[in-house]
Structure 1
Amino acid sequence: MPRPLGRLVAGTAALTVLTLLAGCTGGAPTSPSTATSNGPSSGSATGTTTPASSGIEGAPAELAALVQRVYAGEPIGDGASKSAGAALAQRRPANVPVQGKASTGTWKGAPVAVVTVGDDVTLAVASGAKWRVVGGWWPSLGVKQPSLGSGPRWVLALGSDARPGQQLDRTRADTIQVVGTDGKGGAGVMGMARDLWVPLSTGGKGKINSAMALGGAPAQLKTVRSVTGLPIEGYVVIGFSGFKKVVDEQGGIPIVIPKTVNASHAKLVIKKGPQTLTGAQALAYARERKTLPDGDFGRSRHQGELMLAAAVKAKLAGPGAIPGAMTTVSKYARTDLDAERMLTFVARFYRTDPTKAGRGVAQGAFGWASGQSIVVLGSQARGLFADFKDGNLS
């Protein structure tokens, strides 16, 4: 059964997505794509920042001007996505001078930004010299609902077991986690036992984690979509080395370990109690299975704990940390998610109510097929898939 995050925090894995989760490691905000010059605009999306005296501290000039238009109630036109534009059409103009702060970063080469004005948050993405509002929430302007995509949303987080010299997304998936949100403050992280015997998108049947080795991350995504029945938007895949670097560059993952784990494969002991895991420790905790009483199921449970812990850390850091975390993950991950979808998904996960989120692991009975030990897809896993159709596992 899924475990509510409220009980998870209180009991076992208190503080810590996304890796990724997908960019939810939540370190201090950085502005790698923003210069320090306050001179005339260079014509690029990130070349010139705005001084604090002009209203939006740290924003490129074009972005600062766009945000000012938002708060002045002026027409935005193609300066907003369709969904963000529809939400902002309900706004009332601000009656006070706008003072805020921008943090910027990149996602696979595309500039991204989060602008905070009091309790308001504006999410923006740039193409060339042009910034566009793609989402956010604006209570001060009377906008009742956030603009972060409609209905439930899911993303597939994959950990690759690629070794040096191997292609990241053409080896078996060591980690398969589906991260979902319901758009109402609820969320969930669902692990997939990697030995589940399922129909593969590449043809025939096999262990679910073999789809990536046979057809790349797109084939793994199609397989998980088909097996779960969930319309997962896209994937983010990262390898062992990249995972460790992301965790270390973001300052580690604070977590409460419920039981000491002897990670024999890494020759590390992860002790019981509250601590901040380094990249090497987090990877060892995520990969250990031989010393766990429930083997691969326990490993998948640990992976879910780490992702939720990273999400909690991100929430504590605030939305301004999102661009910096996305920049870090972007350096080491491969993905089919563009900047708009990733930014709005991570921001939506940031808004999750910890009492309305949970985790689960799709399990099954052990069996035998094609000369190898497998996990048979059964009623427990199918029930979990059905529970997750609303994007919530609480």
Structure 2
Amino acid sequence: MTSDHRPTGMRRPDDVCRPARSRSVSTLRTGCVSAVAALTLAACSSDPAPAGRSTAQGSSSASSGTTVGTTAPNGIRVAGAPAPLAALVRTVYSGGDLTRTASPSASAALKGRKATTGSTQATAKVGSWMGTPVAVVTSGDDVTLAVGPTWKVVGGWWPSLGVARPSLGPGPRWVLAIGSDARPGQPLERTRADVLQVIGVDGKGGGGVMGMARDLYVPLSTGGRGKINSAMVFGGPKAEVRTVRNVTGLPIEGYVVLGFTGFTKIVDEQGGIPIVVPKTVVASHARNLVIKAGPQTLTGKQALAYARERKTLPDGDFGRSRHQGEVILAAAVKAKLAGPIAIPSALTSFSKVGTSNLTAEQILTFTAGLHQVSPLKVGLGVAKGSFGTAGAQSIVVLGNEARRLFAQFRDGNLS
């Protein structure tokens, strides 16, 4: 086991030289099992104001300089927004110039919009992503996505203004959700990536979640060959993304990384994950915790156990990866029911426990894009292979089935 994650021709760092069997089984099979989904899950228990209604309760992140129910002369009322954001929203609805206050794609989408007539009521929720202010503003069926601190519109959808299609960045898009195997005191981004889930959207209402078997033996972006989850040990999450890009051929946009403590914290704080468990699972690593088949709401401990278990599954690690995808989809469904207004709180919660290289604009438009996806048009997949050995370690050899899965996912949809 001492060579379990050493790529061919590379020296293993001292901090991962000790035997790793107990770590690989029991620490974090879902540390980031819902890394992106957790972003949306984290705010699902909030009680957003109904779309199109004003409210006097804004986000705590927006408490400084917040306007509450301010109505401009043109009848556009924005509740819960800092004054500059409220002014920007009024510009959107009044038909004003957005050349300097919107991203190129959002500006192009809004260029031919019809200015609103009569009164308009909008509600803003403000949060932050890795220190950058983010906001979602709703008005009826309209959604405006904005990034601060110098507020600009970065995306959204505006049916009331005659804008035909959402502006959510070019599609298809993919993000890599990474679960770090970090132990207490270890760096989150320089330990093994024992959860690797590629989350994609096609920009047409469909998407997919694809798990990567952790023992896939592949060329690493850091040099040599090794198990796919070891790339983060040697080069951090950027190296892990490059490795997964090279293996799958998918132009993955960036990553989110979460640890198991952060995952359980988010799940418990937000009231659990409603899910339908296909078959009863006895989590052998968690004192035989029983997760019964059928509809239920998993606590953080239960969700972690469900997505970690492999020994009692007939297909082992492949089944575990499938369970992780199921948890992601369940969290996404819960988030969809909460609506886009819940996104800022979710991003704020994730930022406290996770890391990412995605910009505020990227994560805001990607996460909002999940709300445009129909659960009936989302598929699950696991990149599998045949079992083999490399030296003293057990490995999974990439096969044609996995390559076909990668090709199928090139449009961002696995349904």
TM over 0.5: yes
Aligned counterparts, 1:173-192, within 5 A: 173-192=193-212
Native 8 Å contact 1:161 1:171 kept in 2: yes
CA distances 1:192-245 after superposition (whole Å, capped 9, x unpaired): 000011100011111101111111111101000000000000000101101111
2:215 equivalent in structure 1: 195
Give the Cα separation in 2 of the matches to 1:250 and 1:218: 30
Give the Cα separation in 2 of the matches to 1:107 and 1:266: 33
CA distances 1:306-365 after superposition (whole Å, capped 9, x unpaired): 001111001111111111111111111111001110000000011101221111000011
Give the Cα separation in 1 of the matches to 2:241 and 2:374: 27
Q: Structure 2: which 5+ residue stretches go unaligned? A: 1-32, 49-57, 72-76
AA aligned to 2:45 is G
CA distances 1:141-180 after superposition (whole Å, capped 9, x unpaired): 0111110011200000001111101111111112100000
1:23 equivalent in structure 2: 39
Native 8 Å contact 1:21 1:157 kept in 2: no
Q: CA deviation at 1:21?
A: 2.8
Aligned to 1:58, which of 67, 70, 80?
Answer: 80
1:296 equivalent in structure 2: 317
When the two structures are superposed, what TM-score results if normalisation uses the length of structure 1? 0.91
Give the Cα separation in 2 of the matches to 1:233 and 1:303: 21
1:386 equivalent in structure 2: 407
Native 8 Å contact 2:38 2:331 kept in 1: no
2:162 equivalent in structure 1: 142
2:274 equivalent in structure 1: 254
When the two structures are superposed, what TM-score results if normalisation uses the length of structure 2? 0.86
Q: CA deviation at 1:51?
A: 1.5
User: Secondary structure in 2 aligned to 1:79?
Assistant: coil
Q: CA deviation at 1:250?
A: 2.1
Q: CA deviation at 1:24?
A: 2.0
Aligned to 1:340, which of 361, 367, 376?
Answer: 361
Native 8 Å contact 1:19 1:246 kept in 2: no
Give the Cα separation in 1 of the matches to 2:96 and 2:38: 34
User: Secondary structure in 2 aligned to 1:382?
Assistant: helix
Give the Cα separation in 2 of the matches to 1:253 and 1:229: 32
1:214 equivalent in structure 2: 234
Aligned counterparts, 1:255-334, within 5 A: 255-267=275-287, 268-334=289-355
Q: CA deviation at 1:90?
A: 1.5
2:183 equivalent in structure 1: 163
User: Secondary structure in 2 aligned to 1:224?
Assistant: helix
Aligned counterparts, 1:61-100, within 5 A: 61-100=83-122
Give the Cα separation in 2 of the matches to 1:97 and 1:18: 40
User: Secondary structure in 1 aligned to 2:314?
Assistant: coil
AA aligned to 2:234 is L
1:151 equivalent in structure 2: 171
Aligned counterparts, 1:114-133, within 5 A: 114-127=136-149, 130-133=150-153
Give the Cα separation in 1 of the matches to 2:37 and 2:235: 22
Give the Cα separation in 1 of the matches to 2:372 and 2:408: 21
Give the Cα separation in 1 of the matches to 2:293 and 2:375: 23
Matched residues, number:
365
Give the Cα separation in 2 of the matches to 1:370 and 1:337: 37
User: Secondary structure in 1 aligned to 2:306?
Assistant: helix
AA aligned to 1:202 is T
Q: Provide runs of 4+ in structure 1 moved above 3 Å.
A: none
AA aligned to 2:66 is T
Native 8 Å contact 1:27 1:324 kept in 2: no
